[in-house]
Structure 1
Amino acid sequence: MKRGTWRLVGWALAGALGLSGCAGHTRAGGKPASQEAREAEARLAEHTQEQEQPGDEQAEREAFARRAIQALRAAGEKRDIQYDATDFLLRIGAQGENPGETVFLGNFFDEYLALAPEQRDEVFAQLSRMRDRPTLPKTYAEARPNLLPVVRGRTFFEQLRMVVKGGAGKPVPISWKPVGPFLGAGLAFDGPETLQYLGPDELARWGISFDEAFTAALENLRQRSSEALEQLAPGTCQAPWQDNYASSRLLLDEVVRRCKVRGEPVVVVPHRDLLLITGSEDEDGLRQVAEKSLRALMAPRALDGRAMRLTAKGWVPFMPERLSNAWGGLRKLELFTRARDYDEQTQRLEKLYEERGEDVFVAAFTPYQDEHGRSLSYAVWLKGVDTLLPRAEVIFFMDPALGEEAPPVAIGRWDEVAKETGGLLMPVEGLYPERYRVKGFPSEEQLAGWRNDPSALFDEEDGP
């Protein structure tokens, strides 16, 4: 699932619902086990006509990267520029142990696609201005007035180590801390045209700790946040700021509590310029927030679609009761965000293992929704294949020895599988979203104890 091909509609599961036509894999032709496993996984998943063809998208991305390089050269960039197709980024001036600068192309590409053809040149003009990053002051006293906190999806921070090459043991390039279970907050120096993320090296030069700098950044943000919230409906609000830091205002409890909600405050930050607030007991407000978040997640520079509730101990995950009319929309946002995060992680892990020469199958996290609106997520566990599994709700067990047309030998819910298999699922440290390395395959007795009817895996209350 590459950037641009994902659609919230059209979640599908091929013959698995009838347990017919589901594919295992063979080792014919000497293919690596991970490649055979990916092909088996792809045969299990059915793509809709609304999805773009990967080859067409890849060609478009490469054409965009070429134009980006041309724009940088025209702006005076003389250093070496390397294009990384897997991570869709440019490395500028990388040499030896020096990683150089990294320009992530994904957001620019999304903005390019969203614009009319006659407006697209502005994207490359904006991209070329990345060369003009603000010069950081020499002292913390000079820098302090321009420090601001930046809230992004936790995946952004967690996966930087795999994207920005610095060598083993190098510190993460951006200093940050978790915000609830899904988000992270870093530090930025806010310049006239662009912001620059700050890492351990910059803080060390200024002789300041992350916590001290973050406290100052919060105070700067507080001084910029005196405006009233925009009311979408009684008890439902959105932040009015369009300054790249709207999402960061969830760090300011006093701003969140300006919205007089029913129950406890619930927020969603689907975009860096969109902070939505409603109440845990406001069904109409939750539904409105879900609808608005869904549209925002389709825009460039989207963040996270999962709802969080403010408690005395901080932000925690939130979902309404399943009988609520708001449950379906928030559930769709949750599955979409998890699938997107796992997809980005899958691509980067595959590249990492390829560079190491290791044959590891990084299983996909796949969401599915049936015609009744019931939903689940699944992953494929293949016998005899070194696999990293995402934490999906349902596991399809496949035996390659049975041939390509064989159905799964068993299907089980994650909680049941984890309980029964014990040491066969080992958590991999340092990965977000979480993954587990499989150590073998369940016994025949264990497989026989799980459901073979996929329709029984749905909770009947999952529907609208």
Structure 2
Amino acid sequence: MERAVHRPDEFAIAIYRTGSAGPAHLYLANIFRETAGVTTAERRERLAKLVRIMAAPPPQDTWETVRPKLRPVLRPVTFGSAGPPGMRPPISRAALPYLKELVVVDQPDAMAYVVPDRVDEWGVTVEEVFATARDNLAEMARASLEQPWPGGQPLISMLDDGDAYFTSLLLAPGWLAEVGERLGGPVLAFAPDNNTLLLCPLPRITAEPFYALAGQHFKEAPRSLSPVGYVAGPQGRTIAYAPPAGHPHHLSARRAAMLLALTEYHGQTDWLAEQYARAGVDVQVGVLLATEPVGGVPETVAVWTAGVSTLLPKADTIAFVHPETGPRFRAPWDTVAERVGLQAEPLLAPPRFRVDDWPAPEVLAEIRQECP
């Protein structure tokens, strides 16, 4: 190591290694939250371990030696996006709504996210890296299914010590369906944080107690992942559980999906607003809102204000607001998108849609006429 620079605005330390093109960043927010209630001695040990991991030289793996160490992991869609200018985030791809798949190198004391520079060093493609990580996961999934599974329990907790990659099992095609076969019926799975996987038989009546437990865990976890419930879908692939309106589980599942969307857009809104302000770009970063009328359907809302350049978050409905006269009406997102041709801005996840002034009066009238 050549030097380390404190960056208080980012709550981070930039670490410069000899021969590296740029610094590695040690972000402190998670460990700050995780050690908030521990003793001084425990906190010092956690920090010392973190420094040892960051100070160690990067492993000199070749493609052949690194292959068996690759693991896929699930992370929030905004993970790794808020970094210093010029930072190349880890390789990733879409996995589930508001979640993405990344690849890590499993190491004895930690995991290292695979970045584009490492892929270039190995002389392979990003697709090969993902495929190899998935092959390794398939072996782990088979091994887990061979273990004895307890029957008759309302909730199974799989708590990861850092080596088991339990939440990654949701990425293994067929795994959740096979768990259901061992437990005697469809399974509802929750991954409220990076290291916790909760499994329960799909309830016949209410699922609210399970959603409440996962939601509270999600809100309190330093490394939260998702409050959404997941089930086995077509071809055994894991999908978000989204029962239709009128189903006993509909409201619980809908609220969980909204909580995840609100959480991800909230973090993105703050970061984008700061970046645009620093760059002097005059654009409003729209806030995703949520509403649940008494006896009505919960939904997310994006506000389109006349004459204001805005990056709209993806929502269930769009509220048209005039800066002088206030709210005019709300319309379904799909109706507006079809009429005005909303296009997602490049490189933003979750997606944003740039709008300026309202559509032409005749188009706005058509949209309003189509509203229920």
TM-score by length of 1: 0.66
Is it true that 1:249 corresponds to 2:169 in the alignment?
yes
Q: How many angstroms does 1:164 deviate by?
A: 4.5
Change (3 A) 1:354 1:288: same
Structure 2: gaps (5+ residues) = none
The equivalent position to 2:223 in structure 1, one of 301, 313, 320, is 301
> SS where residue 156 of structure 1 aligns?
coil
Q: Is the 8 A contact 1:276 1:289 kept in 2?
A: no
Q: Name 2:350's counterpart in structure 1.
A: 433
Change (3 A) 1:242 1:368: farther
Is it true that 1:329 corresponds to 2:252 in the alignment?
yes
Structure 1: gaps (5+ residues) = 1-75, 458-464
The equivalent position to 2:340 in structure 1, one of 422, 433, 436, is 422
> SS where residue 409 of structure 1 aligns?
strand
1:233-244 to structure 2, matched below 5 A, reads 233=152, 237-239=156-158, 241-243=160-162
Q: Is the 8 A contact 2:102 2:113 kept in 1?
A: yes
The equivalent position to 2:5 in structure 1, one of 80, 87, 105, is 80
Q: How many angstroms does 1:124 deviate by?
A: 3.5
Q: Is the 8 A contact 1:133 1:191 kept in 2?
A: no
1:341-420 to structure 2, matched below 5 A, reads 341-370=264-293, 374-400=297-323, 402=324, 406-419=325-338
Counterpart-to-counterpart distance in 2, 1:325 and 1:294: 18
Identity of aligned residues (%): 26
Q: Name 2:115's counterpart in structure 1.
A: 199
Counterpart-to-counterpart distance in 1, 2:210 and 2:150: 12
Counterpart-to-counterpart distance in 1, 2:337 and 2:225: 30
> SS where residue 331 of structure 2 aligns?
strand
Q: How many angstroms does 1:341 deviate by?
A: 0.8
Q: Is the 8 A contact 1:270 1:304 kept in 2?
A: yes
Q: Name 2:32's counterpart in structure 1.
A: 109
> SS where residue 441 of structure 1 aligns?
coil
Q: Is the 8 A contact 2:4 2:14 kept in 1?
A: no
Q: Name 2:15's counterpart in structure 1.
A: 92
Counterpart-to-counterpart distance in 2, 1:247 and 1:174: 19
Instruction: Note the aligned Cα RMSD (angstroms).
Output: 3.6
Q: Is the 8 A contact 2:70 2:105 kept in 1?
A: yes
Q: Name 1:268's counterpart in structure 2.
A: 190
Greater relative contact order (Cα 8 A, min sep 6): structure 1 or 2? 1
Q: Name 1:208's counterpart in structure 2.
A: 124
Q: Is the 8 A contact 1:379 1:394 kept in 2?
A: yes
Counterpart-to-counterpart distance in 2, 1:101 and 1:335: 34
> SS where residue 258 of structure 1 aligns?
helix
Change (3 A) 1:448 1:204: closer
Deviations 1:97-144 (A, max 9, x none): 94411223332233134x256555455445434424563134233333
Q: How many angstroms does 1:352 deviate by?
A: 2.7
Counterpart-to-counterpart distance in 2, 1:275 and 1:154: 19
Deviations 1:229-250 (A, max 9, x none): 7658558644354326211112
Q: Name 2:62's counterpart in structure 1.
A: 139
Deviations 1:55-107 (A, max 9, x none): xxxxxxxxxxxxxxxxxxxxx9832232334xx54433399x94411223332
Counterpart-to-counterpart distance in 2, 1:92 and 1:229: 45
How many equivalent pairs are there?
Answer: 361
Counterpart-to-counterpart distance in 1, 2:314 and 2:119: 36
Q: How many angstroms does 1:440 deviate by?
A: 1.9
Task: Specify the code of the residue in structure 1 equivalent to 2:119.
Answer: L
Counterpart-to-counterpart distance in 1, 2:73 and 2:241: 22
Q: Name 1:173's counterpart in structure 2.
A: 89
Deviations 1:4-27 (A, max 9, x none): xxxxxxxxxxxxxxxxxxxxxxxx
1:9-28 to structure 2, matched below 5 A, reads none
Q: Name 1:19's counterpart in structure 2.
A: none
Task: Specify the code of the residue in structure 1 equivalent to 2:343.
Answer: M
Is it true that 1:190 corresponds to 2:109 in the alignment?
no
Counterpart-to-counterpart distance in 1, 2:66 and 2:127: 15
Task: Specify the code of the residue in structure 2 equivalent to 1:426.
Answer: Q
> SS where residue 378 of structure 1 aligns?
strand
Task: Specify the code of the residue in structure 1 equivalent to 2:172.
Answer: L
Q: Is the 8 A contact 2:98 2:264 kept in 1?
A: no
- Structure with a larger share of its residues in strand: 2
Change (3 A) 1:289 1:418: same
> SS where residue 166 of structure 1 aligns?
coil
